[in-house]
Amino acid sequence: MKIVKSPQELQKICLSLVRKNKSIGLVPTMGALHAGHISLIKKSVSQNDVTVVSVYVNPIQFGPDEDYNKYPRPIENDIKICKENKVDFLFLPTNETLYGKKFLTYVATEEISKIMCGVTRPIHFRGVTTVVSKLLNISLADRAYFGLKDYQQYIIIKKMVEDLNIRTKIIGCPIVREKTGIALSSRNTYLKPEAKSEANGIYAALCKAKKEFSDGKTLSAIKKNLEKNILKINDSKIDYVELRNADTLEPATKDDKKVLVAVAVKVGNVRLIDNTVCSK
């Protein structure tokens, strides 16, 4: 595995791979890699000649009161995980190399970046779409891998790629969970043990909602019960509970065949997101 720090160098390497007809898979991450990230890496390795993983805590997707400074950065362990999982290139850019010269250009996917997580994190998705555009341009990836845990992000990136005629295929990968139910997240390290065990209740509540959907309950009843079940979790505060069309993120209607049930919940002072997709 080669570690590359310079965007120009990685682009040069990837261009020569493209010219040799090699397929390139990209896995963008912020590091503190766990089994969720590893599932994306494994998929990329299985589907491409070459896999590029980026580890970069992207400052422009964090609001001023968010956890940019305290976000975990266990880089040595990330390097080890990438090596063990047959990553070809680990891209470790810096703020200097990505945004160093007076940076003026942003990519924003309107409307669907303003709802759900976008309500409390108004600049978040603009930061994500901007950095992902840069990573796609640098890596020239044929395929890029995103977790469905960040479902809204996945839909936004797919829309961005469609709208801007980017040729990379966006692949959504299933949510990896602990046996107890909680979705793996680098931010779970912020949870105290009791809060972590309470947070398993989020998945249990989503499973109940999914069962109610397949039992034919109305969307408003499902939403109400889900809110009630989440509020049973100790020290929990709902940021949002939303039922939306799983392809467009429009508010769900009774005719939708695939409905996304998505939540953002604070347990203690740690904000967690999770979701499930219900199909008819």
Of 121, 134, 143, 149, the one binding ligand AMP (CB under 6 A) is 149
- What whole-number distance in Å separates Cα of residue 172 and Cα of residue 223? 25
Phi, psi of 277 (to 5 degrees): -110, 125
In the residue annotation, 34 being an active-site residue is answered as no
Q: Is-contact 99 135, C-beta < 8 A?
A: no
- The residue number whose beta carbon is nearest to ligand AMP equals 147
Binding-residue total with ligand AMP (CB under 6 A)? 17
Please identify, using beta-carbon distances, which residue of 134 and 223 lies nearer to ligand AMP.
134
> Would the CA dihedral through 225, 250, 183, 192 be positive or negative?
negative
Token pair 């970046």 in the structure block, residue? 113
Of 4, 14, 17, 30, the one binding ligand AMP (CB under 6 A) is 30
What's the closest the beta carbon of residue 57 comes to ligand AMP, in angstroms? 9
Using rule CB under 6 A, residue 186 touches ligand AMP: yes
For 78-104, b where at least 16 C-beta lie within 10 A, e where not — what string? bbebbeebebbbbbbbeeeebbeeeee
Using rule CB under 6 A, residue 45 touches ligand AMP: no
Using rule CB under 6 A, residue 41 touches ligand AMP: no
Using rule CB under 6 A, residue 150 touches ligand AMP: yes
What are the C-alpha distances in Å from 55 to residues 89, 108, 255, 259?
11, 22, 40, 32
Nearest one of 253, 53, 10 to 144, comparing CA atoms = 53
Using rule CB under 6 A, residue 183 touches ligand AMP: yes
Please identify, using beta-carbon distances, which residue of 30 and 205 lies nearer to ligand AMP.
30
Using rule CB under 6 A, residue 202 touches ligand AMP: no
Using rule CB under 6 A, residue 185 touches ligand AMP: yes
